[in-house]
A = this chain, B = another copy of it.
Amino acid sequence: MRLYLGLVHYPVYDKNEKKIASAITTVDLHDLSRAARTYAVKQLLIITPLTDQQRLVERVCRHWITGFGAHYNPFRKEAVELISVAPSLKGAIDSIGALEGETPFVVATDAREQEEKGISFAEARSMVHRDDLVFLIFGTAWGLAREAFGMTDAILEPIPGAGRYNHLSVRSASAIILDRLAGNHSSRDF
């Protein structure tokens, strides 16, 4: 698999659909990097233009990679090592392009049904399993702003719950989507 994960802090919406740069939530760094390592993701890019927030991410990573945390919990180190910081969505796409010598296919995720660029779990899963270079991005706060979708090649269908309620945390949603796209499922499971 050549799967990259991105957690976008700008451009995203606040609860009034105003475009903002959201703050880093440190538990996101832990949960997403652990899920990324579990599903063999190559890198988790934390996207924020705010330099103080970039420093915060780097400080958390240092603690677990070379600081006290490295001895306290080596499993956390293995996860956090996947984290990298990018100043923008375009910067993240370029950095993956530079690493892989190829432009990634960017798949956005959203809790709302999209009218354009829709892609099903089955389609996205086949891309991942035939080793296409895929960059899967998640929004924080109240979701990716419209302009972010302009930079993506496809938008993944929403997670189908049991009813109309669809307000998962980005930690839960990213775990479920990774399991659906990259997880080991035997056909007898469903």
Task: Give chain A's interface residues, CB within 8 Å of chain B.
Answer: 1, 15, 27, 30-31, 34-35, 37-40, 73, 75-76, 78-79, 120-122, 125, 159-163, 165-169, 171-176, 179-180, 182-190
Contact = CB atoms under 8 A, between A and B. Distances in A.
Contacts of A174: 172
A190 B190 CA distance: 9
Contacts of A176: 175-176, 179, 183
Nearest to A165: B37
A67 B187 CA distance: 46
A35 B163 CA distance: 12
Nearest to A37: B165
B30 A169 contact: yes
Nearest to A186: B122
Given A171-B31, A172-B34, A165 B78 contact: yes
3 pairs of A and B residues whose beta carbons are closest in the complex: A40-B162, A172-B175, A38-B161
B161 A183 contact: yes
9 contacts: A34-B167, A37-B165, A40-B163, A79-B167, A122-B190, A162-B184, A172-B174, A175-B176, A176-B179
A40 B15 CA distance: 25
Nearest to A3: B162
Contacts of A186: 122
Contact of A168 (B38, B125, B167): B38
